[in-house]
Structure 1
Amino acid sequence: MCLIAFAWQAHPRWRLLLAGNRDEFHARPSAPLARWSDLPIIGGRDLEAGGTWLGVAQAGRCCVVTNVRDPRDPQQGVSRGLLATDYLVGADDATEHAQKLLAAASGYRPFNLLTFDTEHGFYIGNRPSSRAQLIDPGVHGLSNADFNTPWPKTRALMKRLQAWMDAGHEVDFAPLFRALADERQAPDELLPDTGVGLERERWLSSAFIRGELYGTRASTIVAIGYDGKGLIVERRFGPEGRFEGESELPL
């Protein structure tokens, strides 16, 4: 998952409302949104590492993971592939989990992790250094940089999520999916410099990335109410943005 905007304890109906795109190589095998048969998780599944990039579990727990875009980083350490799964099936609440993971975070490959339970939300990351941050109520964003780094596409998605809430929407997620499907690229003067070159920075600056080998694989909306009930909706895409299906599951 490489672009996320979410409202935490800021919507009258939804304790957590999250909209995100997962960008990945199209050749990497993945299973669509489903209730897992072996673990109490609802989410898509990475069939290569066995984990998930975004999942929901019992008692309103939710977790999302992204990598950190820096080609200069040696990418050494423990795989981040099971970070989300470990939280979702673990016994620790978000606070306890954040405290324990922070002590070991430096040993993992570069990651950003968002964890939520019924009371608290946390951001945990290990680049440029390890830190855990309690998430305040409000609208936040995350891509492949530090929490709330103001990349153009992150700010744009946060703005559209805020507009969706200001319009009084509750279950009409079409405007959010349109925001996730936005292919407009940011002006050069607003692009970050993450070491991948100007042409690639331009290509990666849109919310939806269309490509033959790499691009947006899934757009997902998660809505969890204060009572723990809600839904998760996933739209899937293949090479060059070809639509491959949609799934919706109640929570």
Structure 2
Amino acid sequence: MCVGFWSLEHPDYALILCGNRDEYLSRPTTAAHFHGFEMDIAEQPGGNVLSGRDLSAGGTWLGVNRAGRVAFLTNITEEHLSYTSTRGALASAFLLPDRAGESLQDHVGHVVRENRAYAGFNLLLFGPRASASAPGGVLSYDAACVTNRGGGGTITCRPLADNERRCGALSNGVEGQGAEAWPKVCLGSSMFSDVLQFVTPETTEADLVQRLFHLLTSWRSEHPPRARAELRNTIQIEPMQVRASETSDGLLYGTRLSTIILVRRDGSVSFYERDIWVLDERGQPTKGDEKNERVFKFRADIPNTQTS
């Protein structure tokens, strides 16, 4: 039950994006690192993609590449069924370097036409664009929301509305069926809007990052959730037993990671990742150590002629 918040209209930042990954704590996953989705999971400093990797399915849920492209994927909460195509590949396909010459519109058009069968998903794709008329280029983003509204459904896409560009939110609900009214989305959006109001030219990046991490980890529902359907009521999920399928035993599930991606108008990218809940050597849940925070900084390589 993931959640993410973003803005594309801040005067200093082309993109402010923060999100939680809620998942089984034992699911094999790598921390964020540069790579190219090779079979070898070792960090590759020259790799094109910066993200964590889901080692069970092979893709990612959130990442950015050196050209400034960003993908954010959530699973739709639904009955577990198996499909031959993995949702994580939808995000990784947009981030891989062989897509560099393809516009955002061309990419989503290909995904829609191909219309493969996936388990339910929501996918946000952010394509950078540098203005050729400004000295050094001024970065902005085009964005699209791609979804199948549930397992095996027809894939559709749409651009973000103006209000979503200013302050957007996404979780694991079905678009147009009440997902925007989930408590974690409503309250989180309000808190995120407050953070955006706080950001001025004098605000340090460190202050902004701390406020975003606070948003992602501070609010919990008054009554801890006891079932998967109740996870919509809290932003941070403390470890709880959740069955992966009707025939499986309960496994510890909770907020594993919080991630922040900041892209300034000059193309400077900052990526922050923190462990929220982890399993210790005895297999017991424990809070992640902020000292183990992963931080990456680089400048996106976006020529003035590039379109999203």
Task: State if a TM-score over 0.5 links the two structures.
Answer: yes
CA 1:241–1:115: 2 relative to 1, 3 Å: farther
Deviations 1:2-42 (A, max 9, x none): 1011112x111111111100011111111111112284101
Matched residue, 1:94 = 104
Deviations 1:68-120 (A, max 9, x none): 0022x645352112111111012322211111111233522211111111141
- Conservation of the 8 A alpha-carbon contact between 1:160 and 1:176: no
- Conservation of the 8 A alpha-carbon contact between 2:147 and 2:157: yes
> 1:76-225, aligned counterparts within 5 Å?
76-89=83-96, 90-91=99-100, 92-118=102-128, 119-128=141-150, 129-136=154-161, 137-147=165-175, 149-169=180-200, 170=203, 171=205, 172=207, 173-185=209-221, 199-211=227-239, 213-225=252-264
Matched residue, 2:3 = 3
- Conservation of the 8 A alpha-carbon contact between 2:188 and 2:215: yes
* Aligned-residue RMSD, C-alpha: 2.3
Separation in structure 2 between the aligned mates of residue 28 and residue 144 of structure 1, nearest angstrom: 19
- Does residue 248 of the first structure (1) align with residue 287 of the second (2)? no
Runs of 5+ consecutive residues of structure 1 not aligned to the other structure: 189-196
Q: CA deviation at 1:63?
A: 0.4
Matched residue, 2:278 = 238
CA 1:46–1:138: 2 relative to 1, 3 Å: same
SS in 2 for 1:18: strand
Q: State the TM-score, normalizing by the size of structure 1.
A: 0.87
CA 1:31–1:99: 2 relative to 1, 3 Å: same
Deviations 1:193-225 (A, max 9, x none): xxxx97443345211111151111100011112
Aligned structure 1 segments of 4 or more residues deviating by more than 4 angstroms: none
Q: Percent of aligned pairs with the same residue? A: 29
Q: CA deviation at 1:241?
A: 5.0
Deviations 1:126-165 (A, max 9, x none): 0155320111331111000135622110121111111111
Separation in structure 1 between the aligned mates of residue 236 and residue 85 of structure 2, nearest angstrom: 29
Q: State the TM-score, normalizing by the size of structure 2.
A: 0.72
Task: Please tell me whether Structure 1 or Structure 2 has the larger radius of gyration of its CA atoms.
Answer: 2
- Does residue 48 of the first structure (1) align with residue 44 of the second (2)? no
